[in-house]
């Protein structure tokens, strides 16, 4: 399961004990769809240093694992070893419970989806023909293939009627990439390899494609190996991230938080480097951090009572909610000075509220924009949940850092701790 | 083609039409109007007009014998046969060889084969055909062999270049989704290379029409006979008729090649 494969140590390493020791119960089910590389080495003739040097990596079933590294770190090589576009010199590769090296490579690849940069669609085939390639190779009949093509087009948000018969060059880059993903999913493979798939599209489209991929993944739970050099993309998509250095050395393998908050060494720290302080803001959701409680009031409440409540809470202000608990206004103690009777329309209008699924970064931006120290947070149907202030954000960041620090020593060893890490990562993705 | 501008052997052969169609053309239906057939019709009209003019220009006995319609027709037909057979032979050699040489494991052999093909093209064809005739006797097939030696290079080059300029990302994608090497070749590489390969075939065709005139040196017929007769008997009308008909035939064949290239090129490129 959670094999936090530490850096492959140079020198004779023992056979991979973590998995065999741990693969009991639940791990088996995951393993059936997962991918394992064991002591994999790739040596090119005429080169002294191996391109991939004794790498062991366990990719749990149903997760997105991002291989992240600068160009030349061998991340693509490592990925291509999995579907044997590159033959390993030595080592073992297990894909979905089967020894990949014992299978016919062509047959193996038909059961592993493959997405590349620029989609790699065949320009002389229609969208339908492109998507239907693998099913046809697997001897599906025409009707089943056609039905599957339409289903997949729907899945990637393209209208089958409009796109089925088009040629790739009539599609935008983003649409091509969607078709590329559909083609990879065509025969419903348990695993997907994606080689910088969104590298060549504009930032807005990339954002869209990433969101679609996450939405798809929620539904399909494929085992995805995703190669990128973009740390932000890795943080956004990865359930786990493997940071690669020279010779595909795995510098660190862990959840996005672990990578950011507790880098294993200077290399990882440098890689996760720029804007490290603000990065957690970008992938943590407002709903995940403790919000500030503020006294609540209704327009019909008596001013004196509200004043008392504000005094008791020590906040200096209260929030006015309507019947559906939607936030209306802030009510400061000054607004209520000498007022009797219902609070009514008093107070200053609250800004556009944040939603629980907004990131902390969006919260920070809103705080700076509105020139006020607090923003209300709403959940489903606009119902008030709590308030975000600068102090809330600061506290959340500090806590995350501390959590990572205390978790660190035993992450690699005990399953239980790893589980809690999982849950933390899980909530973040929602 | 959007592929990087590969070093392409200039397919501009004698009489080749406009080399590139506008980008939108491949999708437009071929023969969408009478204009598609204007070129061949013009060629046929020109040929007929020339024959009418020549036949009625007061020929002497020798000229009349050499320009008798059935005789000219027979020579033209021989010429067409020579062209067709040698082109087919060239393709039978050049296409498989080009495909073979574009495989990764055969790359080391490429310079050798290209050198041989280069020799074939640069050796004077008349010399070759005469030498062959001395060695194997005169006849149709001797000429075909000489023509093939001469014509292999452009077809071979275009086949190789066409296959080499296929985006490696696409062959990689093909392999990555589980196509066998043969399937990658048949369904990805050859279709994508076909425009360049077809251009090579067109060049070969036009080349063969022109070069087939040398057949008359080894008594293999063809329109070259009219030229040799015209020269040896000093009869300009005969000489000119041979030249005009070969030129018109080249134009017609080029049109055929162009139409075939348009029809056969995969859509969507």
CA distance A139 to chain B (A): 13
pLDDT band at A31 (very low <50, low <70, confident <90, very high): low
Residues B264/B224, Cβ–Cβ less than 8 Å: no
**How far is the C-alpha of A89 from the C-alpha of A81, rounded, in Å?**
10
pLDDT at res. A262? 78
**How far is the C-alpha of B221 from the C-alpha of B218, rounded, in Å?**
8
- Probe site for chain A from B4, B183, B268 (most A CB atoms < 10 A): B268
Whether ipTM tops 0.85, in short, is no
**How far is the C-alpha of B242 from the C-alpha of B228, rounded, in Å?**
9
* Between residues B180 and A73, the one the model is more confident about: B180
Q: Radius of gyration (Cα) for chain B, nearest Å?
A: 21
- Asked if A116 and B269 come within 8 Å (Cβ–Cβ), the reply is no
Q: What average pLDDT is seen over chain B?
A: 84
Mean pLDDT for A308-321 is: 85
Q: What average pLDDT is seen over chain A?
A: 81
Residue extents of the structural domains in chain A: 17-111+189-276, 287-394
Q: A101-105, A173-177, A264-268: which range is least confident on average?
A: A264-268
The answer to whether residue A84 neighbours chain B at the CB level (below 8 Å) is: no
pLDDT band at A407 (very low <50, low <70, confident <90, very high): low
**How far is the C-alpha of A286 from the C-alpha of B148, rounded, in Å?**
76
> Quick check: A142 pLDDT over 90?
yes
CB-closest option in A120, A121, A137 to B179: A137
Nearest by Cα to A282 from A241, A221, A232:
A232
Nearest by Cα to B218 from B111, B124, B143:
B143
Q: How many Cβ atoms from other residues are within 10 Å of residue A146's Cβ? A: 17
CATH architecture, domain A287-394: Roll (3.10)
pLDDT band at A11 (very low <50, low <70, confident <90, very high): very low
pLDDT digits (tens, 9 = 90+) for B59-89: 888 888 888 889 999 999 999 999 999 999 9
Residues A227/A117, Cβ–Cβ less than 8 Å: no
Taking any CB pair shorter than 8 Å as contact, residues of chain B touching chain A are 2, 169-170, 172-180, 183, 187-188, 191-192, 266-269
How does DSSP classify residue A414? -
Residues B77/B221, Cβ–Cβ less than 8 Å: no
The CATH homologous superfamily of the domain defined by A17-111+189-276? P-loop containing nucleotide triphosphate hydrolases (3.40.50.300)
CA distance B181 to chain A (A): 9
pLDDT at res. A192? 93
The DSSP secondary structure of chain B, one letter per residue, reads: --S----------TT---S---TTGGGSPTT-SGGGGHHHHHHHHHHHHHHHHHHTS---HHHHHHT-HHHHHHHHHHHHHHHHHHHHHHHHHHHHHHHHHTSGGGGGGHHHHHHHHHHHHHS-HHHHHHHHHHHH-SSHHHHHHHHHHHHHHHHHHHHHHHHHTS-HHHHHHHHHTT--HHHHIIIIIHHHHHHHHHHHHHHHHHHHHHHGGGGGGGT--STHHHHHHHHHTT-HHHHHHHHHHHHHHHHHHHHHHHHHHHHHSPTT-
Mean pLDDT for A71-84 is: 88
pLDDT digits (tens, 9 = 90+) for A386-401: 888 888 888 888 887 7
**How far is the C-alpha of A98 from the C-alpha of A94, rounded, in Å?**
5
Q: What is the dihedral of CA B176, B177, B178, B183, to 10 degrees?
A: -90
Q: At what angle do helices B110-122 and B69-101 cross, to 10 degrees?
A: 160
Is it true that A17-111+189-276 and A287-394 share their CATH fold?
Answer: no
Mean pLDDT for B155-163 is: 92
Spatial neighbors of A326 by CB under 8 A, at least 6 apart, are A378, A382, A383, A384
Give the CA count within 13 Å in the CB-facing half-sphere of B63. 16
Sign (positive or negative) of CA dihedral B9, B12, B17, B23:
positive
**Which helix H or strand E contains A378, and what residues bound it?**
strand A374-378
Give chain B's domains with CATH numbers.
38-264 (1.10.3720.10)
Secondary structure of residue A80 in the 3-state scheme: helix
- Number of A/B CB contacts below 8 angstroms equals 67
CB-closest option in B2, B180, B192 to A106: B180
């Amino acid at each position: 399961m959670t094999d936090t494969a530490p850096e492959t140590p140079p020198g004779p390493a023992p056979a991979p004990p973590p998995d065999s020791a741990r693969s009991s119960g639940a791990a088996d089910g995951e393993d059936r769809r997962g991918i394992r590389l064991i002591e994999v080495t790739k040596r090119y003739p005429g080169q002294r240093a191996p391109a991939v040097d004794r790498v062991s990596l366990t990719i749990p079933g149903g997760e997105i694992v991002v291989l992240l590294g600068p160009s030349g770190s061998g991340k693509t090589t490592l990925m291509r070893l999995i579907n044997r576009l590159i033959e390993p010199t030595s080592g073992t590769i297990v894909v979905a419970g089967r020894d990949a090296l014992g299978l016919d490579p062509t047959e193996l690849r038909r059961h592993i989806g493959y997405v590349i940069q620029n989609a790699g669609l065949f320009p002389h085939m229609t969208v339908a023909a492109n998507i239907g390639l693998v099913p046809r190779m697997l001897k599906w009949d025409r009707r089943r293939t056609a039905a599957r093509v339409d289903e997949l087009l729907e899945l990637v948000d393209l209208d089958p009627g409009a796109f089925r018969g088009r040629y790739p060059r009539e599609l935008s880059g983003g649409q091509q990439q969607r078709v590329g993903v559909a083609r990879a999913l065509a025969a419903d493979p348990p695993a997907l390899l994606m080689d910088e798939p969104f590298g060549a599209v504009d930032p807005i489209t990339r954002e869209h494609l990433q969101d679609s991929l996450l939405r798809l993944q929620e539904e399909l739970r494929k085992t995805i190996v995703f190669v990128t050099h973009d740390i932000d993309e890795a943080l956004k998509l990865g359930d786990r991230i493997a940071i690669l250095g020279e010779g595909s050395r795995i510098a660190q393998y862990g959840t996005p938080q672990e990578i950011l908050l507790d880098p294993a060494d200077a290399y990882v720290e440098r890689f996760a480097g720029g804007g490290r302080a603000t990065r957690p803001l970008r992938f943590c959701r407002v709903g995940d951090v403790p919000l500030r409680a503020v006294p609540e009031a209704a327009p019909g409440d008596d001013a004196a009572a509200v004043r008392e409540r504000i005094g008791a809470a020590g906040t200096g202000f209260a929030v006015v909610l309507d019947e559906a608990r939607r936030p209306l206004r802030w009510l400061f103690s000054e607004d209520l000075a000498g007022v009797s009777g219902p609070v009514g329309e008093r107070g200053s209008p609250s800004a556009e509220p944040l939603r629980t699924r907004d990131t902390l970064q969006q919260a920070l931006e809103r705080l700076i924009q509105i020139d006020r120290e607090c923003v209300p947070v709403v959940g489903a149907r606009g119902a008030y949940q709590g308030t975000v202030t600068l102090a809330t954000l600061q506290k959340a960041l500090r806590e995350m850092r501390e959590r990572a620090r205390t978790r660190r020593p035993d992450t690699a060893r005990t399953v239980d701790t790893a589980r809690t890490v999982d849950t933390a990562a899980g909530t973040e993705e929602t | 083609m959007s592929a990087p501008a590969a070093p392409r052997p200039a397919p501009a052969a004698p009489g080749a039409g406009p080399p590139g169609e506008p980008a939108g053309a491949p999708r437009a239906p071929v023969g969408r109007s009478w204009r598609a057939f204007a070129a061949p019709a013009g060629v046929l009209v020109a040929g007929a007009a020339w024959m009418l003019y020549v036949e009625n220009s007061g020929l002497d006995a020798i000229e009349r014998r050499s320009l008798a319609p059935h005789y000219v027709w027979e020579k033209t037909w021989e010429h067409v046969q020579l062209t067709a057979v040698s082109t087919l032979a060239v393709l039978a050699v050049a296409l498989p060889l080009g495909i073979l040489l574009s495989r990764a494991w055969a790359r080391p052999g490429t310079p050798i084969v290209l050198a041989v093909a280069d020799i074939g093209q640069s050796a004077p064809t008349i010399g070759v055909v005469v030498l062959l005739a001395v060695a194997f006797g005169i006849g149709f097939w001797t000429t075909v062999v000489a023509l093939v030696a001469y014509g292999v290079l452009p077809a071979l080059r275009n086949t190789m270049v066409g296959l080499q300029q296929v985006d490696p990302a696409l062959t990689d994608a093909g392999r990555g989704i589980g196509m066998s090497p043969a399937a990658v070749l048949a369904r990805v590489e050859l279709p994508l290379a076909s425009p360049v390969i077809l251009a090579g075939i067109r060049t070969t065709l036009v080349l063969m029409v022109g070069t087939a005139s040398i057949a008359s040196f080894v008594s293999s017929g063809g329109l070259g006979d009219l030229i040799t007769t015209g020269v040896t008997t000093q009869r300009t009308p005969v000489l000119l008729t041979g030249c005009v008909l070969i030129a018109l035939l080249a134009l017609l064949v080029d049109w055929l090649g162009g139409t075939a290239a348009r029809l056969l090129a995969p859509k969507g490129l």
